[in-house]
Amino acid sequence: MPFKIKYKFEGDEEYFEVYVTYKQYKQFKKLPIVSECEVMTDDDQNLDDYKNEMQEALNYAAENDTSHIKKLSHPAPK
């Protein structure tokens, strides 16, 4: 499933956004001309808040409390 990234090339002043697959993202980040690159949510917010929330949920799950991680999850398609 594609997701949006925000990036800037070396020497550029402006940022660009594009949708990529995970494989494309890994290749993109390795390009020597890319100076900055970050994954964006659909509403263009940085994922830091989500990462922190997910880490907290993982900490609880390690203690057998799955309620937090289930709140962040969506049912998988059948």
Let me know how long the chain is.
Answer: 78
Is the pLDDT confidence value at 72 over 80? no
Asked whether residue 77 is domain-assigned, the answer is no
Spatial CA neighbour of 17 closest among 37, 1, 45, 35? 37
Is the model's pTM score more than 0.75? no
Asked whether residue 43 is domain-assigned, the answer is yes
Asked whether residue 64 is domain-assigned, the answer is yes
Q: Say which DSSP state 46 is in.
A: B
The pLDDT value given to residue 30: 92
The pLDDT value given to residue 77: 64
Q: How many domains does the chain divide into? A: 1
Domain of residue 56, residue span: 3-72
pLDDT digits (tens, 9 = 90+) for 8-65: 999 989 999 888 888 999 999 999 999 999 988 765 455 567 677 878 888 888 888 8
